[in-house]
Amino acid sequence: MVQKLTQVLLKVFSFATNNRVKTLLAMFAATALLGFSIPKIKIDQSMDSWLESGDQTIQVFRLFRYLYGSDESLILMYKNPKGNIFNPDTFQKVQALEKILNEKRMDPKSPLKRIKRVRSILSADYLESKNDSLINRPFVEKIPSSKEEWKKLTKKALEEEDMKGTFFSDDFQYGALLIETDYGARVKASTLEKSSQSSEGKGPKDLESETDEDFSFEESPDSNSEMARGKIIDLDKVPELESPQMEEYVVFIDELKKVLEENNFYHFIDKDSLKEKSKNDLQNIVSYHMAGNPWLMGFFAKIILKEFGLIFILSMILILGSLFYAFRSFSGMLWPSVVVIVSLIWTMGFIGLSGITQTMMINILAFMVLAVGVADSIHLLSGVRYYLRQNYSHEEALLLSYKKCASSIALTTVTTMAGLGSLTFSPVVPIKVFALFTALGIFFAFLMTIILLPIFLTYFPLKVKEHEKKKSHLDPIITKMNLWSKTKRKTVIIPFLLVAVTLSFGIPKVFIDTNMINMVKPGYGFIESYKTIDKYFGGTASIEILLDTGKIDGVKDPQFLKSLDKLGETIQGNWPDLVSRVYSLSKLTKKSYKTLTENDKNYIIPGEKNILDQTLFSFETADPNTRKLVVDDDWQMARLTVSLVTKGSKEYNPFNDQIKLTAEKVFKEYKKGNPNLKVHSTGMVPLMYKMTENISISQIQSFGIIVGVISILFLFLFKSFTLGLLALIPNLFPILVILGLTGHFGIPLDSDTLLVVPIAIGLAVDDTIHFLMHYQTLREEGADVGTALDKSCREVGHALIYTSFVLSLGFLAFTLSASKPFTYFGILSSLSIFTALLADLFLLPTIIYWLEKRKLPVAQGGLS
């Protein structure tokens, strides 16, 4: 089979090299054409992109946002440098800032039009009953002017439930400005009618044809009395909501920062902007921390995504440098780069043409194509260099190397593609898309290596200097390695075993966790902000519990609201370390009833239905905007918001699972008379965590499949069970290294870090295949085990060392990323590539020798 493959590839080779100009022109035209499709690539990092559109989790989340609006808020935590924020100067600044933000949000041309509401201690809703008046007013109507007034205001603020910890900290050092946005909650534009179509396209025909009879307000007798039947909330019918693009967040955050700076609010990390300020100006500055999804997205788009470009360039420089070091030739440096760039253009062009939306994983895809492209080229170039050193001519060296390597490259391409192919079974859409296009990219890298690289080498051949022909700088190392595997097997195997045993103890300690705080390295103001906001304001995340009573006005029931109140208390009582606050209609009802009756003892849910109804009526009349946030327009579905301290998925996920059970328990009595009650839990951060955990688990499962697929491929390829198993050992070693180290060092595995595994497996497998294919060919040619191993080490060893060296360095560039998971990804990738090399060069030959000693078939040429 391998021979047939080699023959086919040789035909490709002779066609390409005999029609150099034509082939190059055709490739150039195709590359140019595909290049034009690159700008069509769409990137979406929203949660919707991670799941199939019919997924119920996302449907509930969409329903939640459709009913109550977006939960993407920003919390701006400001600090008064002089101490207490309850002072005229700070209040005036906050007031001025709020005023301008409110103006901007109403300005259709401003990016800040995405703001729905701004609240602070000054503007917080305050329902008051005074002289027979029910007043819904801002908490601070007038900034106090005397000490007495300040004292009174402070006392009132402390008395008001949830004011402390929401708008100011316990010690009055920090204040919070809450900025609510409409991100992710606007109905998707495509489902709506655009103005131009309507006013001009729609004519009188429509007006005439649509009569009153086209609107049916069923007025059956039963509907008038008890409202027995509620609206059926059909998750499939919830309109699609817009998913904001990363770039929108950047524009929004930039504008917000600009407005803040104009009002003397500076991010605490933004020391550069303050350098130019005079002493007087500095006294006027209010420093702030910021958190919340729009900030997070803006940060990722601006810092992390842009960083990828730099990391890629740095990686390329490192790779080019190491290529030059390896081949000491300009051609050796240039051609692999061209192969990689053309492969990338083709891959990206196809992505653009396909119209399939990508996620941030497209960056990893680019690196995979880069790694494989470089590795393929190195193998061919290294072979050419080997034969040039044997004094073959350029043409002969190229042909011989092609003969030996091309089939190995084809096989490694097939195995890597097969490995990635197994990822396409993942339920996670971006992983599927990633696997599909990475497989395509790897195929293109192979294509460029077998077509373009030989043509390039005929124009600008690889050069080997005379003194290098005699001795290569790697020769002594390879000789030693070979000697060790032959004579000092124990010296080789024992350290590997020791390392393996030590690392295996780390495996049970491996844990999967996605945590906002662990996403970014310190120094970017990110962790610092989350930690400070957690400390003073109880976090930024929330779980939303939706309780569908199944009937219109079902929420207006004393028993329901009492249960809702109890649920809030139970949740807060059971998880005090995690839950910072609960907020629902029950609290607002109690507050309204107390205010209406002007009796502090009446901070309760009224037991009589008509009293409750009228309390709720007055609440809705006084504060319709807050009503919309806690119950839907039909009073059928109530919302309970559970605010959470920032923790990882390890803590959130079990909590999320428990919360529904708690709700079922609390509402058990109510459910007896209202069997249609349905409980849903949703919320952005917990959902994101749940999804990333699912992604991680599915990744791990997929890796199991990859190992299985590769084992089968090995068995098929080498037609030997022993060799198939044998080939697996050096490939499993890097995985053991990754898992052992992450376990020992407490590095959390998340979906980003776990991407290292397919890369590690892919590259390790490639090395093994190259080595064993050479060994197999040599054995078939009649060489004994010793000679075959020695020659394989010499012929392939160089290529293996070069690729590992080049790629390890290339991946190390990731350590410069602000993202912690990507840093771990860089370190672990480098380490796994390096350990795969050690295993292939030391462990594999040692095992083959050991098998030969025991006269096992593999050592006697069982490879054929």
Partner 1 sequence: MSSIIHLIQTFNLNKLCFLSFSFCLFVFFNSPSLKGEEKKVEVPSPKEIMKKTFNRNEGKSSYVSNILLSCQFEIVKKNNKSKKKCSSPPRIKEFKSIAIEIQKDSIDAKSLSLIKKPASEKGLGFMQVDYIEEGKSSDQWMFLPALKKTKRVVGDEDGPKTGSFFGSEISYEDIEKHHENDFTYKLIKEEKIKETPTWVIEMTPTGKKAKTRSYGKSTSWISKRSYIVLKTEHYDKRGFLLKTFKQSNVEKINGIWIAKRMIVINHQKSRMSMLKLKSVLINPQFSEDLISLRALKDETFLESELQKIHGK
- 265, 306, 49, 514 alpha-carbon torsion, rounded to 10°: -70
Q: Which stretch binds partner 1 (CB under 8 A): 204-212, 309-317, 350-358, 644-652?
A: 204-212
CA distances (Å), 802 to each of 382, 737, 798, 799, 808, in order?
8, 21, 6, 5, 10
Going by C-alpha positions, the residue among 754, 756, 736, 761 that lies closest to residue 694 is: 754
| SS3 readout for 563-598 | HHHHHHHHHHHHCCCCEEEEEEHHHHHHHHHHHHHC
DSSP secondary structure string, 526-549? HHHHHHHHHHHH--SEEEEEEEE-
Minimum CB distance to partner 1, residue 145 (Å): 22
Residues 430-449 that bind partner 1 (CB under 8 A): none
Distance CA 779, CA 858 (A): 10
The phi, psi pair for 226, rounded to 5°, reads: -100, -10
Going by C-alpha positions, the residue among 374, 446, 462 that lies closest to residue 412 is: 446
Minimum CB distance to partner 1, residue 572 (Å): 29
Q: Which amino acid is at 403?
A: K
Residues 120-159 that bind partner 1 (CB under 8 A): 125, 129, 132-138
Residues 330-359 that bind partner 1 (CB under 8 A): none
**Contact with partner 1 (CB under 8 A) among 24, 611, 725, 816:** 611
Residue 352's Cβ-side half-sphere holds a number of Cα atoms within 13 Å equal to 15
Of 128 and 852, the one with the shorter C-beta distance to partner 1 is 128
End-to-end CA distance of the chain: give it in Å, rounded.
10
Minimum CB distance to partner 1, residue 164 (Å): 23
Q: How many residues bind partner 1 (CB under 8 A)?
A: 73
Q: Which stretch binds partner 1 (CB under 8 A): 5-13, 157-165, 216-224, 802-810?
A: 216-224
For position 115 contacting partner 1 by CB under 8 A, the verdict is: no
- The three-class DSSP label of residue 214 is helix
Q: Which amino acid is at 549?
A: T
Q: Which stretch binds partner 1 (CB under 8 A): 105-113, 374-382, 415-423, 558-566?
A: 105-113
Q: Which stretch binds partner 1 (CB under 8 A): 77-85, 217-225, 393-401, 571-579?
A: 217-225
State how beta strands 174-181 and 73-79 pair. antiparallel
**Contact with partner 1 (CB under 8 A) among 89, 162, 248, 613:** 613
Distance CA 561, CA 559 (A): 6
Of 588 and 847, the one with the shorter C-beta distance to partner 1 is 588
585, 565 in Cβ contact below 8 A?
Answer: no
Q: Which stretch binds partner 1 (CB under 8 A): 5-13, 41-49, 220-228, 726-734?
A: 220-228
Minimum CB distance to partner 1, residue 746 (Å): 47
Distance CA 87, CA 163 (A): 17
Minimum CB distance to partner 1, residue 716 (Å): 55
Residues 548-607 that bind partner 1 (CB under 8 A): 552-553, 556, 596-597
**Contact with partner 1 (CB under 8 A) among 215, 236, 675, 854:** 215
Of 126 and 825, the one with the shorter C-beta distance to partner 1 is 126
Minimum CB distance to partner 1, residue 613 (Å): 4
Give the Cα-Cα-Cα angle 758, 800, 324 (nearest 5 degrees): 110
Minimum CB distance to partner 1, residue 136 (Å): 6
Residues 233-252 that bind partner 1 (CB under 8 A): 237, 239
Minimum CB distance to partner 1, residue 111 (Å): 13
Residues 250-289 that bind partner 1 (CB under 8 A): none
Residues 768-827 that bind partner 1 (CB under 8 A): none
Residues 515-554 that bind partner 1 (CB under 8 A): 552-553
Of 149 and 210, the one with the shorter C-beta distance to partner 1 is 210
Q: Which stretch binds partner 1 (CB under 8 A): 252-260, 414-422, 572-580, 633-641?
A: 633-641
- The three-class DSSP label of residue 125 is strand
527, 517 in Cβ contact below 8 A?
Answer: yes
Residues 184-203 that bind partner 1 (CB under 8 A): 186-187, 189, 192-196, 198-200, 203
